[in-house]
Structure 1
Amino acid sequence: MNTNYIRIENGKAAFHIFPGLCKGCGLCIEKCPVNNLGWSQVLGVYGTPSVEPGHGEKECTACTICEIVCPDCAIYVEKLKNKQN
């Protein structure tokens, strides 16, 4: 199992991308309802760019649509609990 991943966190979610599984198909970018995903500088399994959040004006809402549509299970979205004092 490939355990090398990149973790990017915002207030609502921790976005995990596994470049060793990402083939760069772009389905997640196309389906993101807030247009937050884009191409990263990290290359995926076939030498194509993998994806990362943070490319849109709105931040990730943790809807998990990208995780659901990824045909290679290269994305895992971890919903974060609100930190209240």
Structure 2
Amino acid sequence: MEFRAHTQELTKSSWTIFLGLCKGCGLCIQKCPKKSLSWAKKLGVYSTPAVESSDECNGCGICQMVCPDAAILVQRKSKKAEE
């Protein structure tokens, strides 16, 4: 199994999806409080999520917590890095 990763650098965080782990269940999309996740058009064998709006995502990590396959990694940036 291949564990390729796709990382998006966002305003407040970096958001990584591990394509080989994601099965496309959509829990992350459903649970995102900012509704900043949507289905990616090009990533992965199955439909995989991607951050649609980097300004909307606040890096809360809920998507990472609800992912049953540990396919998401959210790393919040420090306040200094945001400026």
TM-score class normalised by the smaller sequence: 0.7 to 0.9
Q: Whole-Å Cα distance in 1 between the matches of residues 26 and 12 of structure 2?
A: 23
Percent of matched pairs sharing the same residue: 41
TM-score (norm 2): 0.85
* Greater share of residues in strand: 1
Moved more, 1-10 or 61-70: 1-10
TM-score (norm 1): 0.83
Count the aligned residue pairs.
Answer: 81
Question: How far does the alpha carbon of each residue in 1:39-63 deviate from its partner, in whole angstroms, 9 at most, with x for none?
Answer: 11212xxx3111100259x521111
Unmatched segments (≥5 aa) in structure 2:
none
Q: Whole-Å Cα distance in 2 between the matches of residues 52 and 29 of structure 1?
A: 9
Unmatched segments (≥5 aa) in structure 1:
none
* Greater share of residues in helix: 2
Tell me the equivalent position of 2:47.
49
